[in-house]
Each structure stands twice: as C-alpha cells, then as structure tokens.
Amino acid sequence: MSFWAVVSRGSFASIQLPEPMRVNSLLMAVLNGFFLMEASAIQNYMPLAEQMREGRFRAADWVEGGVEITPPAKSYFVLTPHAAELGIMGYDALADVPAGSVAVHTIEGVMMEADTCWSLGTASIGQLIQQADAHENIVAHVARFNTPGGSTMGLETFAGIIAGTQKPFVSWAQQMCSAGYWSGSSGDAIVVAGRTAMVGSIGTMVSFRDYSKALAKAGVEDHVINATESTNKNAAFAEAVKGNYKPIREQLLDPLNNVFLSTVRANRAGKLNAKQEKELLSGMVYIGEASVENGLADQMGSFEDAVSLALELAGRAAKNGGSAPSTATNSTSNTMFGKNKFTALTALAGLTGTAVTTPLVEAANDQLEEAGITGVALVSEAAYTELVAKAGRTDTAEAAVAAAQKEATDAKAAQKKAEDAVATAEARAEQAEADMERLAEQPGATVTTPRKSKDKNDVEEPTSESDAQKLVEKLHAEMLG
C-alpha cells in the first residue's frame, strides 16, 4: 500500500485523547488524506506512519512511560488580565469565565480535522473558537501555534472560522508553517515568539512511497481494474508511480497551491514585502525577526505581548462601537481588524518589540486608504528626515528662482527704459534733420529773424487809398515845376 501526503509548510492542533477510536481516525487520515506540512516534520512522523501501516501502532507507546491515554476534555482556556498571575485557566462553561477574559487556543503538532490520540482536531478547536467568540465574557482570542502543518481536510473551514471572528484574533507563532500559516494568517495579527520561531513554508508538494517492489518480493501482486468509462480514475497517481509527475502536478498540486497562495495574499494584503513576495510564497521557512521584516508577521514578542495586543485591539473595537467584520468565507477578507483591520497601525502604535519597517509603514498607509481615511499618511523617521532635507533644498531652489526672476524683470524694465530713450533721441534727430533741410532750401537774403504771425504783425500794410494820394501829389509837383 502506498502512503502519500501533500506537503507544503503549515500548521496543526493538539490536546490529548482516547485510544482505539482515535487511532482509527488517525490511521484513516494518514493513509487517505493530503497534508500541508514542513518537510522536515514529515521525516519525524514517518516511523509513526510505518507503524500504522504495519498494524503495530499503540498510542501509549508514544507517551513517556507508556502511560494510559485519557481523552482530553473540550475545556475553554482563558487568560484573565486582572488575574494574570493565575496563568491560563480551564473552564467547563463559558458562564464561569471572568468577564474581560482572553480565550486561548492551542494548535500544536500535526493538524488533523478529527480529534486524535494526542490532540483536539481543528473541527473541535473551531467549535471552541466560535463559542468563545459569541460569549460576552470573552473580549479577544490568542492562538498559540506550534505546528509544522497538517491535513488539508477541514483546513479552509478552520481558517474561515478564524477569519470570521467578531473579536480580535492574534496568532502567536512558535512554529507556524504550511497549513498552520494558512490558518494563523487568517487572524488579525501575527506575533513571532522569538529569534528561533519558524514561520512560512507556504507552498505545496506531494510525497509518497512505492511499496510495489517489496510486495512483489513477498509474492503480492496488485491488479487494478477500472470501469469502462473510468479511464482517468487514479490516472494521475498511476502516472506518478511510473515517474511521470506532470498530471499530478497539473491536476492536484497547482490548483491546491493556487488556493493556498491566494488565501495568504488576501490575509496579508499590503503587508508582504513586494520585492520578496515570489520567494515568500515559494515554500521558504524564515526564522525570528526575518518574518517581521518580510511581512509574514507583524511583530516579535512574548505570549504576554500577544495578549496585550489582543486586548488593545479589543479596546479599539469597543471605542469604535465594535463594528462587525464582513462575512468571512474560506479564510478570505475580514474588515474589522487584521488584513484591512488596522493591525499595521496597531503595530506602529509604540508596542514593545515592534520593528518599524518600510513594508509595515506602507501597509499602515494602505489600510488608511482602504478605510477611506484621507488627508493623512505615515512615514518612517528616515523618510521624514529625507523629506525635511528635500524641503530645505526645495526652499533654497525656490529662493534662487525668485531672485533670478526678479533680476530678469528688472533687466526687462531697464531695457524698456533704454529703448524709450533711444526712440526719443531718434525722433529728435529726425526733426532736426527735417529743419536743416527746410532752412537749406530758403534764399540767402531771406530774413531769418523770427516774425510774428500775419494776424499779429505790427507793420501796417499800405492801403490802396494812400497809394493813390501819393500818385496825385507826385503829378501835381511835376506840373508846378
């Protein structure tokens, strides 16, 4: 029999449960299911899978001292801020939980939909999350992720429950890989537990073992018979056994991976480092603060820091009237917190351990824009310093331009004045030249002294009567002579 699992880089849930029924559900999931898991974890779980395949598995053998496994109770675990010294407490009923408490959910080990020998499955944890979210005594959620990933069965539903919480949901990541990241990124914020915390493994692969040769040696021969019209029944897997991996990649891996990547992009919208996005979604695992720098997480901090962030988000929600998130479907968008829920703004609000990175600032501005908040933007200190320096350079340049423009205006005015003076001088020269030409044409004996105009002349012109008298007198003189 072949064992195979879809591997990527993911997450899981845990708590402790009973034996043989739990073993049967675990065996069924291992032998029939697909998994999104960090690759090194698969190798660690192979001995368990082998024991299951061979029928030698006993849950008690995997517990220290071989103690009897008892089914874990589906309790509600909470941390109450005003009694934090008591630590995380378990309650049988939410009515017994102190008001103002933070629900604590543990997702540990290999994630499975059904409850197993060691852990509550994601179906049970999802129910606890929904019940806590609906109760008035709970104000926020913090999930402790310590998982390499797990089964794809029920994964979208579980991630969708996290995305759909009405109250803030903060993921605290010790190890949050593959299916774990798919789930944890559906919350409102991700806090990396420390410098050795592992985050990522966002991608999909398939791995299986072919026992046909070993079985053939033992005299076991497989016969595969398809119905007449079932020509493609298990064809991709059969081709993979032959070494042709293209069909299984195209029919199974790529479609599953596309859903995975699109979910992560939606969950971390505006937060992933754009220059690194291709690498981030290729299956890489990142350690510690690198997850914050590349945008896979929002900040580093302790479990207490994650609780403080959840409480701060809850306080902001209460102050803003506790507007409900949009309906979340299969871990897509949620508008109250997280992706489009102001987690970047919260991370920039001076919280301990916050690393102010360019992607974080850009994400905060994107969230402001998406929320319709205009007229304001955030800049990093380095960008602000550069803007101030640039403003100083701009002021200097503008002053220089203004001075140059004034000089140009003054020069134009001086030029206009000079042109007017030249025009006046040229007009006078032309008039003088005209006068010279006019005088040159007059006779030389012509009196050039000024004379009054005809109507103002003081020399009386002789009249015709005096001339006649003179003529008479002249003739009379001649006659007498």
Q: Which stretch of DSSP H or E encloses residue 35?
A: strand 35-37
Q: What is the pTM of this model?
A: 0.58
Residue 198 has pLDDT above 70, yes or no: yes
Cβ count within 10 A of residue 311: 19
Residue 337: partners with Cβ closer than 8 Å, 6 or more residues away? 168, 169, 188, 189, 313, 317, 325, 343
- Is the pLDDT at 312 greater than 70? The verdict is yes
Write the CB contacts of 13 (distance below 8 Å, at least 6 apart in sequence).
Answer: 106, 107, 108, 109, 111, 112, 119, 120, 121, 122, 124, 125, 147, 150
5 beta partners: 207
Residue 350 pLDDT exceeds 90: no
What pLDDT shows up at residue 386? 75
Name the percent of the chain lying above pLDDT 90: 32
pLDDT digits over 21-30, tens only?
Answer: 444 454 445 5
Q: Decide: helix, strand or coil at residue 209.
A: strand
Q: Which residue would you say has higher pLDDT here, 198 or 33?
A: 198
Instruction: Give the Cα separation of 462 and 54 in Å (integer).
Output: 163
- Distance CA(278)–CA(432), nearest Å, equals 89
Beta bridge partners of 206: 6
Q: Which two tokens stand for residue 442?
A: 């007059």
Higher pLDDT, 297 or 329: 297
Q: Is the pLDDT score of 33 beyond 60? A: no
119, two tokens = 């852990």
Q: Which CATH number fits domain 3-219+232-370: 3.90.226.10, 3.90.340.10, 2.60.120.40, 3.40.250.10?
A: 3.90.226.10
Proportion of the chain above pLDDT 70, given as a percent: 68
209, 3 contact by CB (below 8 A): yes
Contact in structure between 117 and 59 (CB atoms under 8 Å):
yes
Distances (CA, A) of 411 to 283, 406, 421: 69, 8, 15
